[in-house]
Amino acid sequence: MKSFVPFLAAFFLAAAPVLDAAAAAAARNHPAKTRAATKAKAAKAKPARSKPVKFAPVVKKVVAPVVAVGAIGAIDYAGEQVNFSEWQAVRDFIDEMVARHGLDRGELEATMRQVRFVESAVQLVKPAPPGKPKNWQAYSARFIEPIRINAGVRFWNENAAALARAEAIYGVPAEIIAGIIGVETVYGRDTGRFRVIDTLTTLAFAYPEAPNQAARSVFFRTELENALLLARHEKIDPFTLLGSFAGAVGLPQFMPGNILKYGVDFDGDGRVDLRGSTSDAIGSVANFLIEHGWNPRDTGPAVIPAEVAPHRAWESLLERGLAATLTPSELQAAGVSAATPLTADRLYGLVDLQNGADPTEYWVANDNFFAITKYNRSYFYAMSVIDLGRAVRAARLLQGL
């Protein structure tokens, strides 16, 4: 079984950095498309409903329609002025925000008039075309590489006290927290430069045709609602919230709803700041994992290499979702043997990491692995977090830290 070790060797041998610019390239290269049909469909959409949240009174001011180049950087797109405030679905959304949360109608209408349609966000949420097989080793190489390992060592050294405190309070190892922040943003180096209000509005009311279009539209309308509530709560101009093309914010790339639910004021300054406070980011990642099933009592590895029998009775075990549901005896009966003994009273799942034309890797995973998949619903993602965290920890040890 392959692990982070070959990539740790690359940490000492690689001579040139590897930059991950796929999202930026896609945003630049996707062609524009006609808006008329999209607007017509969006006008029929109905906004999501959620429970009211009470926050401080709204700060009344008209925001500028552009983001200045400076401390917060330049936006990643030009966008198109479409006057969302004229779309019936948006007007219905405004009505609900006023009724449920007491937002000022005039201010909200002024905001929606300034929101821009982001074509690149529409293109980037579309699923990848079928045909190319999944390749775990190729995926992993994007994240377990010298730039992130070096940055991870610096991040851990600079935030050792906060990481140790989060581990003590929540029971989430420092290397897992460091792994998530490293995979998400290279430790704050790339937190995204899309205006969150623009991308969330675009995806809420003009999500592209897809089998899950209705559900995803509801999701993004809810996140737009959360973003506006977050801006009011923090007393900030909503257009200063920058993030990914999908609306994720800060070092750990939390969606606005997750900031409201799981954000932690870990530095004690009275506010949750995932954009500027590494301590808040660290505490919030640990809190998110605990709230999504991380088991602090399970201090062993989250994944264990496994071998599978040639009779393939174990194949049905791969369709159990992102949860640990199998006993060790069930795994053994199906022909799965773990490299180290499994705890009899714990549940596990069987994980397959496909490698294109090369043999698939199989692992047995516990609750903690699946807690990471709640951050991003992908086996590849969770394994990359684990491997990057291990590589950073090993690099620190080699430096005597």
The pLDDT, as a whole number, for residue 401 is 79
> 240-291 pLDDT, tens per residue?
999 999 999 999 999 999 999 999 999 999 999 999 999 999 999 999 999 9
| Average pLDDT across the chain, whole number | 85
Question: Exposed, middle or buried by CB within 10 Å (0-12, 13-18, 19+), for 344?
Answer: exposed
Q: How many domains does the chain have?
A: 1
Is pLDDT of 42 > 90?
Answer: no
Residue 140 domain-assigned (yes or no)? no
Residue 90 domain-assigned (yes or no)? yes
Residue 256 domain-assigned (yes or no)? yes
Residue 235 domain-assigned (yes or no)? yes
Residue 292 domain-assigned (yes or no)? no
The DSSP-derived string for 82-94 is: --GGGSHHHHHHH
Taking each helix axis as running N to C, give the angle between helix 196-205 and helix 213-234, from 0 to 180 degrees, rounded to the nearest 10.
150
Q: Longest Cα pair distance anywhere in the chain, in angstroms?
A: 67
Residue 401 domain-assigned (yes or no)? no
Q: Output helix, strand, coil percentages for the chain, rounded to the nearest 5.
A: 50, 10, 40
* 110: CATH: 1.10.8.350
Query: What pTM did the predictor assign?
Result: 0.81
The pLDDT, as a whole number, for residue 307 is 97
Give buried/exposed letters for 124-148 (b at 16+ CB in 10 A, else e). bbeeeeeeeeebbbebbeebbbbbb
Mean pLDDT calculated for residue range 43-59: 35
CB 253, CB 263: distance < 8 Å: no
Residue 77 domain-assigned (yes or no)? yes
Specify whether 184 is catalytic.
yes
Which uninterrupted H or E stretch holds 242? Answer: strand 242-243
- Between these two residues, 32 and 226, which has the higher pLDDT value? 226
Is pLDDT of 348 > 80?
Answer: yes
Residue 109 domain-assigned (yes or no)? yes
Closest CA to 176 of 57, 294, 75: 294
- Between these two residues, 48 and 196, which has the higher pLDDT value? 196
Torsion 271-272-278-282 (CA) sign:
positive
Distance CA 195, CA 3 (A): 37
Catalytic residue among 107, 119, 145, 184: 184
Domain residues for the domain of 85 are: 22-128+189-276
- Give the confidence band of 131 by pLDDT, cuts at 50, 70, 90: confident
